[in-house]
Amino acid sequence: MVKKIGILHGRESSFPPALIERINSRNEKDIIAEPVLIDKLIQGGDSGYAVIIDRISQDVPFYRSYLKNAALNGTAVINNPFWWSADEKFFNNCLCEVTGVTVPKTVLLPSHARPDDTDENSFSNLAMPLDFEAIFEYVGFPAFFKPFSGGGWKNVYKVHSAEELFKIWSETGQLVMMLQENINFEGYYRCYCLDQKDVLVMPYEPRNYFHERYLRGDDAVVPEDVHKKLVEIVLKINQYLGYDFNTVEIAIRDGVYYPIDFCNPAPDADNFSVGEKNFEWVLEAAADMAIRKAKQYKPGKQNLTWGEFIKQSVAGKVLK
The 10s digit of each residue's pLDDT in 216-265 is 877 789 999 999 999 999 999 999 999 999 999 999 999 999 999 999 99
**What whole-number distance in Å separates Cα of residue 201 and Cα of residue 232?**
11
105-181: CATH superfamily = ATP-grasp fold, A domain (3.30.1490.20)
212 has pLDDT over 90: no
Cβ–Cβ under 8 Å, residues 294 and 3: yes
Instruction: Average the pLDDT over 180-203 and give the result.
Output: 97
| DSSP string over 189-243 | EEEEEETTTEEEEEEB-TTS-GGG-B--GGGG---HHHHHHHHHHHHHHHHHHT-
Domain coordinates in residue numbering, the chain? 3-86+288-305, 105-181
Check for a shared fold between 3-86+288-305 and 105-181.
no
Domain 3-86+288-305 fold is Rossmann fold (3.40.50)
pLDDT at 81: 97
Buried b (16+ CB within 10 A) or exposed e, 185-196: bebbbbbbbbbb
**From 29-33, 77-81, 152-156, 281-285, the region with the lowest mean pLDDT:** 152-156
